[in-house]
């Protein structure tokens, strides 16, 4: 469910550094680590890269916005500048998974698709500045919130791309509004999850609670999460201060409520998943080496969703293919969105 980092980002690159043992003991490298560790808070690597992401989105024509979708809930999102003239471009909604805010998980896709689509990147409830007074913590509630947001914005039809937890949300949106949701992309998202699959994850991660995997509170937990979610795990020589900076900036906000979201899931609650074919054409994208949601869940899900679905397995990626190989992911999604009307069963 976590969508953490991205291949072109400062964070993902740092976590993919190939550092040798001889290098890490060299005086120059030790000095470099010490200097960075002593940097003031405003020079945090995560904060600096967050600013870079925001500038990239602004260049792509998106602005940060907030909207009260009802009396209880406010959603924060990035979307086309509301003061600009309507472009007539099709709408594309990118729904993030558990982890950092939406733009951290999607900005390679935002930059790629913004020229041809009106791209909307909502922060789900309790991520970023999206909040609610409601006690509902299910992924169905999240789907209703995003649907209300698009309705409030006057967007009648749109396609959705959801990753991991966001795939759960995208699936429910497609079911609830078949007349509004045109095309569906579900990436790394086992909406056919069973209770026993969660138990298998606990064994692989050697934990007793789901939050110990998806909401890391220590550098050690974040290292473990990245080793599960990435094809190339982070170097063991990366200093703890980097991981602690990630946790402090990206994982501490609304932690209690996010734990409630994990336990509020309807998907994976028992061993009889309620998954039905969608009216829309569906693209499933899966990392060949996904250790969070195993590849077998993807092949099973394709059978359940039926003839209108197709599965693309991305090599040398794990649970975050949109970040591990953004170029290939974008190519696959773009081909599907452009040619969905001609999709043939595979």
Q: Any idea which of 40-44, 144-148, 209-213, 334-338 has the lowest mean pLDDT?
A: 40-44
Report yes or no: 162 and 95 within 8 Å, Cβ to Cβ: yes
Among 16-20, 269-273, 335-339, which range has the highest average pLDDT?
A: 335-339
Give how far the C-alpha of residue 190 lies from the chain's centroid of Cα atoms, to the nearest Å.
Answer: 13
pLDDT at 234: 80
pLDDT at 236: 80
Q: Which of 68, 94, 65, 67 is nearest to 80 (CA)?
A: 65
The answer to whether residue 212 scores a pLDDT higher than 60 is yes
Residues 6+ apart with CB under 8 A from 218: 247
Mean pLDDT of 70-89: 92
pLDDT at 84: 81
157-174 pLDDT per residue, tens: 999 999 999 999 999 999
**pTM as predicted:** 0.87
The answer to whether residue 8 scores a pLDDT higher than 60 is no
- The four Cα atoms 111, 117, 122, 128 give a dihedral, to 10 degrees, of 20
Report yes or no: 97 and 166 within 8 Å, Cβ to Cβ: yes
Name the pLDDT band for 66 (thresholds 50, 70, 90). very high
232-289 pLDDT per residue, tens: 988 787 889 889 999 999 999 999 999 999 999 999 999 988 999 999 999 999 999 9
Tokens of 89: 């471009």
Residues 6+ apart with CB under 8 A from 206: none
Query: Comparing 147 with 340, which gets the higher pLDDT?
Result: 147
CATH code that applies to domain 10-342:
3.40.50.1820
Mean pLDDT of 290-302: 97
Q: Any idea which of 6-20, 122-136, 197-211, 290-304 has the lowest mean pLDDT?
A: 6-20
Mean predicted lDDT score pLDDT of the chain: 88
Domain definitions of the chain by residue range: 10-342
pLDDT at 83: 84
Residues found in the chain: 346
pLDDT at 87: 80
pLDDT at 340: 53
pLDDT at 12: 47
pLDDT at 20: 35
Angle, vertex CA 198, rays to CA 194 and CA 203, nearest 5: 140
Name the pLDDT band for 45 (thresholds 50, 70, 90). confident
d(CA 49, CA 74): 26
User: What proportion of the chain, given as a percentage, has pLDDT over 70?
Assistant: 86
Name the pLDDT band for 85 (thresholds 50, 70, 90). confident
Backbone angles phi, psi at 93, to 5 degrees: -110, 125
d(CA 61, CA 320): 25
Q: Euclidean distance between the first and final Cα of the chain, in Å?
A: 27
d(CA 154, CA 300): 36
């Amino acid at each position: 469910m976590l969508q953490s980092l991205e291949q072109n980002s400062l964070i993902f690159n740092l976590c993919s550094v190939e550092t040798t043992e001889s290098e890490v003991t060299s005086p120059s490298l030790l000095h470099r680590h010490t200097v960075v560790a002593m940097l003031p808070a405003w020079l945090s690597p995560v904060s600096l890269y967050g600013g870079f992401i925001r500038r990239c989105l602004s260049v792509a024509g998106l602005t940060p916005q907030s909207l009260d979708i009802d009396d209880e809930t406010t959603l924060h999102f990035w979307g086309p500048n509301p003061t600009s003239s309507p472009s007539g471009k099709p709408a594309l909604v990118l729904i993030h998974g558990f982890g950092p805010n939406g733009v951290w998980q999607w900005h390679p896709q935002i930059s790629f698709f913004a020229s041809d689509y009106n791209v909307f990147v909502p922060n789900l409830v309790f991520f970023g500045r999206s909040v609610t007074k409601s006690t509902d913590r299910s992924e169905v509630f999240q789907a209703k919130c995003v649907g209300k947001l698009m309705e409030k914005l006057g967007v009648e039809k749109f396609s959705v791309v959801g990753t991991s937890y966001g795939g759960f949300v995208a699936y429910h949106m497609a079911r609830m509004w078949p007349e509004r949701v045109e095309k569906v992309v579900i990436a790394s998202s086992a909406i056919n999850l069973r209770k026993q699959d969660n138990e298998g994850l606990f064994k692989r991660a050697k934990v007793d609670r789901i939050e110990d995997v998806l909401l890391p509170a220590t550098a050690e937990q974040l290292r473990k999460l990245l080793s599960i979610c990435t094809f190339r795990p982070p170097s063991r020589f990366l200093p703890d201060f980097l991981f602690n900076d990630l946790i402090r900036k990206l994982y501490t906000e609304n932690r209690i409520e996010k734990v409630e979201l994990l336990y509020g899931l309807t998907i994976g609650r028992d061993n009889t998943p309620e998954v039905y074919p969608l009216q829309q054409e569906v693209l499933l994208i899966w990392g060949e080496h996904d250790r969070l949601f195993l590849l077998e869940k993807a092949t099973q899900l394709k059978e359940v969703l039926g003839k209108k679905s197709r599965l693309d397995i991305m090599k040398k990626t794990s649970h975050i293919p949109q970040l591990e190989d953004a170029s290939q992911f974008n190519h696959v999604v773009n081909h599907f969105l452009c040619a969905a009307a001609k999709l043939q069963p595979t």
